[in-house]
């Protein structure tokens, strides 16, 4: 087995996460490094994780990677990045997965993979990696591995253990509109009384892009199965109806480029997202993955509310440590899906590092839960680019100025996300325009009629 294969505790990511120019060198396993030595690793340029999801919707998709050093040195360095089908086979064997290898002939690396790092620099310039769809079938999934070619580096650097390969989980799809914007926007919908389809009605007046990037189905529940002695994911009749009729309620949003995720909320027993550590975290993460895959969703949102935690219960009481373990388990179970966290309850005390893994690397977005207020301290070391410090209930809190909030916290303070709660069938274009004018320089308009819940 090659020394660059990671196993099985890799954190991973979804394509949703925001872009950054910073390269984060994960400290996992580096306690045994010789600090006098410079180690070379490969990283995705926008998402500094070892596994990411890549959606191949158009004919081609280009993303960027970099090489990074743990320590600068006083001479130029060169290495070669290569397409590595063998690494996929080894990953499958080590992680008990069965991903098909992405066809190497349909992937290319700029400059034939040769990458330079100048002296006294700790990273290379970004390198384009392009994949093309060819005749691949929409709905199919592949893994592409990009490795630093062994023997291609000089004697001044060594390959970083477990960091000389990155993996792309490539999902082949159909073309969707480009909704790329400088800020990410979420919208929670109370589906017990409102239609999730209204998320797709709000667009930007000039570009025609969707106002919202993510629609949150609020909410599924977590409960305890007494017969099987385990937590389980529970859907009430309204959530189940939406999931069972995904072609009517979910797919139309996804076809517009909107991600649809499922909120997981406590339900008045001793089980909640804040008490599942260890094997319970792994088991529940697998159940969430099964639901996401079965209903064609794009991820989950953890919401630590309405649980009656009991330290004497089979799962014990809640803690930040346990919730962090669940977050990491979800990332491993769903490497190409969104993991979001509502910043309430146990999430507030989640440690930055658990078992050597950075929790912030496993989360795509987190939201501050107290509507009409603000919180400027992202949890567990999350960067500002992934945090929404403000949120507004658009059915009741219209007096709050979205112009002030977005200008103050998003533009002036650099927070990358914004969200609203409780979107209804009442037209809120004028109110939401306050935010979109600041964030995107465009008014918000309706692109389709608003509808009421129809079941």
How do the residues of the chain divide into helix, strand and coil, expressed in percent and rounded to 5?
Answer: 25, 30, 45
Q: What φ, ψ does residue 270 adopt, rounded to 5°? A: -75, 0
CA–CA distance, 148 with 115 (Å, rounded to integer): 10
Strands (E) across 332-404 are located at 338-342, 353-354, 357-358, 365-367, 387-388, 391-393
Return the residue matching tokens 């596994």. 51
Active-site residue, from 305, 325, 357, 442: 305
Q: Which two tokens stand for residue 36?
A: 């006098």
276: helix, coil or strand? coil
Q: Which two tokens stand for residue 267?
A: 């339900």
For tokens 């795509």, name the residue: 364
The two structure tokens encoding residue 89: 């086979």
Q: Is 305 a catalytic residue?
A: yes
Query: Which residues, at least 6 apart from 196, have a Cβ–Cβ distance to it below 8 Å?
Result: 189, 215, 217, 242, 249, 250, 253, 260
8 A C-beta contact, residue 433 and residue 444: yes
Whole-angstrom distance, CA of residue 109 vs CA of residue 128? 6
Decide: 437 and 412 in contact? Cβ < 8 Å.
no
Helix (H) or strand (E) holding 288: helix 278-294
Helix (H, G, I), strand (E, B) or coil at 323: helix
Residues forming the active site: 305
């Amino acid at each position: 087995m090659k020394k660059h294969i990671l196993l099985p505790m890799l954190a991973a990511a979804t394509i949703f996460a925001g872009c950054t120019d910073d390269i984060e060198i994960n400290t996992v396993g580096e306690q045994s490094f010789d600090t006098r030595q410079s180690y070379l690793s490969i990283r995705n340029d926008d998402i500094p994780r070892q596994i990411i999801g890549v959606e191949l919707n158009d004919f081609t998709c280009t993303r960027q990677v970099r090489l990074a050093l743990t320590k600068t040195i006083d001479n130029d360095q060169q290495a070669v990045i290569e397409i590595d089908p063998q690494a996929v086979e080894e990953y499958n064997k080590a992680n008990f997965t069965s991903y098909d290898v992405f066809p190497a002939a349909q992937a290319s690396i700029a400059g034939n993979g040769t990458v330079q790092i100048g002296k006294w620099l700790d990273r290379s310039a970004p390198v384009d990696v392009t994949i093309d769809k060819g005749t691949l079938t929409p709905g199919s999934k592949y893994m592409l591995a990009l490795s630093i070619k062994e023997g291609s580096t000089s004697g001044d650097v060594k390959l970083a253990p477990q960091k000389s390969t990155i993996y792309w989980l490539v999902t082949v799809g159909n073309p969707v509109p480009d909704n790329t914007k400088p800020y990410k926007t979420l919208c929670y919908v109370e589906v017990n009384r409102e239609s999730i389809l209204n998320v797709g009605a709000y667009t930007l007046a000039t570009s025609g892009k969707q106002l919202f990037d993510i629609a949150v189905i609020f909410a599924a529940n977590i409960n305890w199965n007494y017969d099987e002695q385990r937590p389980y994911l529970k859907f009430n009749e309204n959530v189940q109806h939406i999931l069972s009729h995904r072609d009517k309620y979910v797919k139309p949003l996804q076809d517009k480029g909107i991600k649809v995720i499922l909120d997981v909320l406590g339900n008045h027993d001793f089980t909640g997202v804040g008490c599942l550590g260890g094997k319970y975290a792994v088991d529940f993460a697998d159940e969430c993955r099964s639901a996401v895959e079965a209903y064609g969703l794009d991820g989950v949102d953890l919401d630590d509310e309405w649980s009656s935690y009991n330290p004497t219960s089979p799962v014990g009481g809640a803690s930040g440590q346990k919730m962090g373990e669940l977050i990491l388990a979800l990332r491993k179970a769903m490497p190409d899906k969104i993991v979001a966290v509502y910043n309430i309850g146990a999430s507030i005390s989640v440690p930055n590092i658990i078992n050597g893994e950075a929790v912030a690397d496993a989360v795509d977005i987190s939201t501050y839960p107290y509507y009409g207020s603000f919180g400027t301290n992202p949890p567990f070391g999350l960067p500002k680019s992934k945090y929404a410090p403000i949120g507004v209930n658009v059915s009741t809190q219209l007096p709050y100025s979205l112009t002030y909030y977005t200008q103050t916290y998003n533009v002036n303070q650099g927070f990358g996300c914004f969200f609203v709660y409780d979107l209804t069938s009442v037209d809120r274009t004028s109110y939401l325009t306050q935010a979109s004018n600041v964030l995107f320089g465009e008014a918000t308009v309706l692109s389709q009629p608003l509808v009421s819940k129809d079941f």
